[in-house]
Amino acid sequence: MDLVARATAGSSGAELANIVNEAALRAVRMKRNRVTTNDLEESVETVIAGAQKKGKVISTDEKRIIAYHEIGHAMVAAMQTHSAPVHKITIIPRTSGALGYTMQVDNNEQVLLSKEDLFNRIVTYTGGRAAEELICNTVTTGASNDIEQATKLARAMVTRYGMSETYDMMGLETVKNAYLGGDTSLTCSTDTATDIDHEVLRLIKEAHQKARKIITENLEAMHQAATFLIEKETITGDEFMRILQQTEKQ
């Protein structure tokens, strides 16, 4: 129950109901009359990322890129402080369009997030693209959601959370209809809006460089973990950490 609770931290009652329903359906499909922890774990992923699409055909080259992309996220997350532990890594496509994902689960539910917490999240978002660049010598559309999330978070740090040295505690953005999607609008001059773009870009570039540095320093572990992931398609956070520990001993 502790594992499921941490994986669903922040979920609404309706989302929890959907997760339990999905778990019950999975148990029936597996010809069981009891719901297991695995059913609940899989149902969390189904609600978040969609159902598995195991029949989707992916070429060997693309599968390799996807594996390194996801291991890039996991490696950067594992090598940082102020970062949630890696819980699961998969390269099984989902109905949401995701070709793979890395799931992190905090040990405790966090209410307050520090500047370091948020910056390290951006670093983790850039880890997939950094792995593509350094190991696969390419960049792909697989990082589209990472780019969106990293940009959104970096902009919020500058405009709403007062985490920019340039603008100190000045509010530069307001949130409208917080319970209906949370549309935002800038409350500053055109010149300041341009400067905000520069500040956001600086944060993302700094995070990207940190991710590249972490991956460069752990190339052997990257190769071993990616090879294991390609073979198994899904690995747990514990399996991933064991690979890191074994590599450090060598």
Q: Are residues 36 and 103 in the same domain?
A: no
| Catalytic pick among 70, 132, 133, 199 | 70
Write the CATH number for 6.
1.10.8.60
pLDDT digits (tens, 9 = 90+) for 64-111: 999 999 999 999 999 998 788 898 899 988 877 788 889 888 877 777
In whole angstroms, give the CA distance from residue 79 to residue 127: 11
Q: Are residues 122 and 17 in the same domain?
A: no
Q: Is a pLDDT exceeding 70 seen at residue 138?
A: yes
Contact (Cβ atoms closer than 8 angstroms) between residue 33 and residue 27: yes
In whole angstroms, give the CA distance from residue 81 to residue 85: 10
Q: Are residues 44 and 63 in the same domain?
A: no
Compute how many other C-beta atoms are within 10 angstroms of the C-beta atom of residue 12.
Answer: 9
In whole angstroms, give the CA distance from residue 97 to residue 183: 24
Q: What pLDDT was estimated at residue 181?
A: 60
Query: Which residue range forms the structural domain that includes residue 243?
Result: 53-249
Active site residue 199: no
Contact (Cβ atoms closer than 8 angstroms) between residue 147 and residue 119: no
Q: Are residues 29 and 153 in the same domain?
A: no
Could you say which of 11, 28, 49 is where a domain stops? 49
Q: Are residues 141 and 214 in the same domain?
A: yes
Q: What pLDDT was estimated at residue 11?
A: 80
Q: What pLDDT was estimated at residue 32?
A: 94
C-alpha separations of 113 from 80, 82, 118, 152, 209 in Å: 15, 9, 7, 15, 22
Angle between helices 115-131 and 190-216 (to 10 degrees): 60
Q: Are residues 10 and 101 in the same domain?
A: no
Could you say which of 49, 73, 89 is where a domain stops? 49
Cα 108 to chain centroid distance, Å, stands at 17
Q: With pLDDT > 70 as the criterion, what percentage of the chain qualifies?
A: 97
Q: What is the pTM of this model?
A: 0.87
Q: Are residues 241 and 195 in the same domain?
A: yes
Tokens describing residue 66: 């996807």
Q: Are residues 89 and 101 in the same domain?
A: yes
Contact (Cβ atoms closer than 8 angstroms) between residue 154 and residue 204: yes
What integer is the mean pLDDT of 166-180? 80
Q: Are residues 17 and 70 in the same domain?
A: no
Query: Which residue do the tokens 């010809």 mark?
Result: 31
Q: Is a pLDDT exceeding 90 seen at residue 177?
A: no
Write the CATH number for 227.
1.20.58.760
Q: Are residues 26 and 107 in the same domain?
A: no
What integer is the mean pLDDT of 9-32? 90
Q: Are residues 23 and 131 in the same domain?
A: no
Domain count, the chain: 2
CA atoms lying within 13 Å on the CB side of residue 3: 14
Q: Are residues 195 and 113 in the same domain?
A: yes
